Structure 1
Amino acid sequence: MKNFKIVLVTCVLILLVSCQGNTNTERVFIITDYGAVADGVTDNSLAIKQAVEACVLAGGGKVVIPGEGVFVSGPFDLVSKMELQVEGGATLLANPDTTVYTKSAFRENPGEGTIWIGGVNLHDLAITGLGVIDGNGLKFMGEELGDAYELLPFKVKDPRPHILTLENVHNLRIENVTFRNSAYWTVHLIGCNDAVITGITIDNSLKIRNSDGIDLDHCKNIRISDCYIQSGDDSICLKNRREFKEYGKCENIVITNCLMSSRSCAFKIGSENMDTIQNVTVSNCTILGSNRGIGIQNRDEGVVQNVLFSNIIIESKFFSDVWWGKSEPIYVTAYRRANIDHKDASWRFPEGATEGFVGQVNDITFRNIQCRSENGIYVSAESREKINHILFDGVSVVLNRVTDYEGGVYDRRPCEGEGLVKAKTSAFYIDNATDVQVRDCDIRIGANAPLNMGELIHRTN
């Protein structure tokens, strides 16, 4: 009987601990319980901050934007052991008042936007739901000019908010939620480790400059899958910004099953790279209606190496000179950055330097890729040793004119020297690089041939 009592007490204790654990993980904090109203006008940042604080005091939980309409908010921060859930039917909308955005997205560099939703030095964070996080981007733009909006002038701080800026977060999950209408970058991860981004939609205006989709900055061990990204600037971009140099390399990145469209470059490495970007695989993606498809744009002292692109469809075409790129479905370039008078010029070179140098691009493979474009693949460097061991294996290029732009030009911007380079259109234009192999590739001319056709495969040096 005594043993039975001991077993019974033990079972009860285990059950109580188990129930307590489940209660902790299921604590829910709905922002309307803290005074938030979904009227599309009221700034609810205080209510959201109070819900987040309650989550902290409880030791973690779920902060919910309920499916009840449009909740306007100014800046707020996320915390560890928190899930921000935006329910289906709910929209979290950025406050259009520029004065509420005071924190720079790039630390002491104020010239490249501010932070709306942020978080630093966190762990175990999730952003989920079937709702919408809306950056209210057009409210921060000037006049519509052709295929781009005018950027409003500013003196020191560019007030345009980035939607989500997370720094040094471990164990991060972003899934299913829709981000849209960003005024600047949409999802910026800095120094993050072990993150999964899956099933999200990013739907930005194709006319807003700098409206990147996902930027991985000094990040490690990141998986991106099953996403739809439409953005004026790069859809997915890997980089190592100088402002965050303490986080080191950007490495071990897997990107798969994504659909992308951009007026700049759908998938890009660079141009900011002051460290190393390595061990990257991009596969089973479709790129439609873009200026460029895949780009490696090295402009700083960092190295790019060990990158594999496979099973990808690319459709690219010309846009105006506002956008970097000239319809190159694939481009690999290595040129030192130009020393120009720019709003953030002091952040572009190593500390104390007035000019920079460019690192190498090595061991890059493009396999089983179909390209349909107004321009060809472009590989070019300032000197032969800067680009080494590039393989194009089973790459198909169909050259077909679909716009009224004349063509006959490749884009090296931003670089020291000539940015827009006049040259005949080739399916492969290889200039100043070492060991570039074109193996089992197919080249065709579509119904409307480019106006400035040259050799199908052009090599110099």
Structure 2
Amino acid sequence: MAETVPFRSQLLPSLTLILLSILQSDSATSRIIHLPNQSDSKNFTISVIDFGAVGDGVHYDTVPIQTAIDSCPPTTHCRVTFPPGTYLTATLRLKSGVVLDVQRNATILGGTKLEDYPEESDKWYVVLAEEAENVGITGGGEINGQGLRFVKRFDERKNVMVSWNRTGACLGDECRPRLVGFIGCRNVKVWDVKLTEPAYWCLHVVRCVNTSILDVSIYGNFDSPNNDGIDIEDSNNTVITRCKINTGDDAICPKTSTGPLYNLTATDCWIRTKSSAIKLGSASWFDFKGLVFDNITIVESHRGLGLQIRDGGNVSDITFSNINISTRYYDPSWWGRAEPIYVTTCPRDSNTKAGSISNIQFVNITATSENGVFLSGSKGGVLSHLKFVNVNLTYRRWTNYADGLLDYRPGCQGLVNHSTAGIMMEHIEGLEVENINMRWSEDRTGRWNNPLYFRPSTVNNISFLNFHSGLYKL
């Protein structure tokens, strides 16, 4: 027999009753849901529990959760709340005006089966919003992608991950679902939430305008590849602040695949990664312009600040300021060779061209690293108007991985044997260095005796003011 389930919010006399038949995966019992008309017609709150979600982490709650989302009236600000519990689900789709309120001690748990996700692999997300406005996620709880369930073989060098390409669902070894995606949206806000264990990319913002990401904690297994923290793709007017990202792959990664990326600001963040803490690229078919990264702490990462331009897009007007970096070697199967700063442009392959990089500033940077700064343009894409002001670089070894390699990957020259230098430069037109203090450990390998390395025929118009390099003793 159907039962009537009242909402906890107060009902008004003008209440309109809507009969919703909810068929859960674990029960054929139907429920009549009374949809409230709250006193503030512009603000609306409903709970997934009232729609039949059980939150036991075993039975799928997809239908009641999606029904709750779909029940939000149009032209309102609607919060869909998740009380404490674990809500196993297939893909959830947000719509305009909806904010998921995942409360503390509540977890949205992504399914691990191919049938949990849409047919189109580019829509494989645990939570997805498309062409929506005024959407977001908050509440202090967690969204978990169960990434470790996708590990095919655990390996301390780099885990081997499950790929659904064998089913024909998509190609390549990165054929598995992302965690949270906003595609073609306006006015996105993600705040006060934990995003953990993505099977692939964690938070993906694609072709969006006006996005705020603040007080978000991201954790991905340190040995699993491709579990990027935040990927901002073809999106404009983005702010990232007070985020903590601890993951295996790139942490904050702006990309341009189908259009340019303008006006991105990232501040007050803490990052640890086995790849690049901040990386522009490598998807870089269109321009990047007007990006600011300020007050960032980067610890034990394989690469600190990286520009990896491979597809012909141009980069200009980027500022990195007030950043503290420590970088170290990890297994060379991961891109990166402990560079605190890495600025490169070259063609990915014979079908692409090098883009230009210009007007890049590094101000108030402190780094302790196992390798030097790498600045590399190419014949078709020089680096121009680079500026370093108030930079302290300390070079010393503390891991046992081999050094003496330059890493151009992806594409280009790959890994190249080369002696270590404090700053490696090639294909540069215009470089200003002011107030630089470079310190070297006394290293018995003899590799630590070259503060600057450059080919004069490719480096022009450089200026050094108050540059100091010297040894220090541990």
Structure showing greater relative contact order (alpha-carbon pairs closer than 8 Å, 6 or more residues apart): 1
SS at match of 2:185: strand
The answer to whether 1:291 aligns with 2:302 is yes
Map 1:69-88 → 2, pairs under 5 A: 69-88=85-104
Find the aligned partners of 1:93 and 1:450 in 2 and give their Cα distance. Answer: 50
Deviation digits for residues 224-270 of structure 1, max 9, x if unmatched?
Answer: 101101111110011112xxx2xx32001111000011111000101
Relative distance call for 1:439 and 1:57 in structure 2 (3 A) is: closer
Give 1:390's aligned amino acid.
L
> 2:75 and 2:320 mapped to 1: Cα distance?
45
Aligned with 2:441 (options 426, 439, 446): 446
Q: Give yes or no for the alignment of 1:23 onto 2:34.
A: no
Contact persistence 1:368–1:395 (CA under 8 A): yes
Which TM-score applies when normalising by structure 1? 0.86
The reply to whether residue 334 of structure 1 matches residue 345 of structure 2 is yes
AA partner of residue 125 (structure 2) = I
Equivalent residue, structure 2, for 1:346:
none
Q: In the aligned structure 1, how far is the partner of 2:61 from the partner of 2:212?
A: 28
**1:407/1:450 contact within 8 Å kept:** no
1:264 aligns with 2:275: yes
Structure 1 residues 42 and 266: CA distance shift in structure 2, 3 A? same
Look up the SS of the partner of 1:273 in the other structure.
coil
User: Counterparts of 2:38 and 2:260 in 1: how far apart (Å)?
Assistant: 37
150, 153, 165: which one pairs with 2:181?
A: 165
CA offset digits 1:154-174 (Å, max 9, x no partner): 333255210111111111111
Q: What is the letter of the counterpart of residue 191 of structure 1?
A: R
1:3 is matched with none
* 1:348 matched residue in structure 2: none
- Quote the Cα distance in structure 1 between the aligned partners of 2:444 and 2:100: 51
Measured after TM superposition, the shift of residue 393 of structure 1 is: 1.3
- Structure 2 match to 1:63: 80
1:244-259 correspondence to structure 2 within 5 Å:
245=258, 248-259=259-270
How far apart, CA to CA, are the structure 2 residues paired with 1:172 and 1:450?
Answer: 52
Q: In percent, how many aligned pairs have the same letter?
A: 29
- In the TM superposition, what whole-angstrom CA distance separates every residue of 1:319-371 from its partner, at most 9, and x where no partner exists? 112210000010000010136xxxxxxxxxxxxxxx11121011101011001
Shift of 1:448: 5.5
Per the TM alignment, residue 386 of structure 1 is displaced from its structure 2 partner at its CA by 2.2
Partner Cα distance (2:211, 2:45) in 1: 23
Number of the residue aligned with 1:380:
376
Note closer, same or farther for the CA distance 1:174–1:209 as it changes in structure 2 (3 Å cut): same
Aligned: 1:146 with 2:156:
yes
Alpha carbons 2:215, 2:242 under 8 Å: kept: yes
CA distance in 1, matches of 2:219, 2:176: 17
The CA distance in 2 between the partners of 1:34 and 1:336, in whole Å, is 53
Report the CA distance between 1:78 and its aligned residue. Answer: 0.6
String of CA shifts for 1:111-139, please: whole Å, max 9, x gaps: xxx22211111111121111011111011
Which residue in the other structure is 2:234 paired with?
Answer: 218
C-alpha distance in structure 2 between counterparts of 1:318 and 1:133, whole Å? 31
Closer/same/farther in 2, CA of residues 85 and 451 from structure 1, 3 Å limit: farther
Q: How large is the Cα RMSD of the aligned pairs? A: 1.8
Q: In the alignment, is residue 302 of structure 1 matched against residue 302 of structure 2?
A: no
Secondary structure, counterpart of 1:176 in structure 2: strand
Contact 1:105–1:162 (Cα < 8 Å) also in 2 = no
Structure with the higher fraction of residues in helix conformation: 1
Q: Secondary structure at the match of 1:47?
A: helix
Shift, 1:152, TM fit: 2.6
Report the CA distance shift for 1:385/1:211 in structure 2 as closer, same or farther (over 3 A): closer
SS of match in other structure, 1:205:
coil
Aligned length: 414
- Would the alpha carbon gap of residues 58 and 330 (structure 1) be closer, same or farther in structure 2, given more than 3 Å must change? closer
2:292 counterpart of 1:281: yes
Q: Does the 8 Å CA contact 1:384/1:434 hold for their aligned counterparts?
A: no
Residue of structure 1 equivalent to 2:452: 457
Change (3 A) 1:229 1:318: same
Give ranges in structure 1 of 5+ residues lacking alignment: 1-19, 108-113, 340-354
Change (3 A) 1:449 1:402: farther
The CA deviation at 1:381 is 2.0
1:38-117 map, 5 Å:
38-56=55-73, 59-67=76-84, 69-104=85-120, 106=122, 114-117=124-127
* Whole-angstrom distance in 2 between the partners of 1:447 and 1:98: 54
Conserved? CA contact 2:422–2:451, under 8 Å: yes
Q: Match of 2:420, as an amino acid?
A: T
Q: In 2, are the aligned partners of 1:337 and 1:356 still within 8 Å (CA)?
A: yes
Identify which of 366, 369, 375 aligns with 1:370: 366
Given that 1:104 and 1:115 are in contact with CA atoms closer than 8 Å, whether structure 2 keeps it comes out as: no
Mapped contact 1:101–1:159 kept (Cα < 8 A): no
Separation (CA, whole Å) in 2 of partners of 1:369 and 1:172: 31
**Aligned residue in 1 for 2:407:** 411
Q: How many angstroms does 1:450 deviate by?
A: 6.6
Q: What residue is the counterpart of 2:426 in the other structure?
A: 431
1:390 and 2:386 correspond: yes
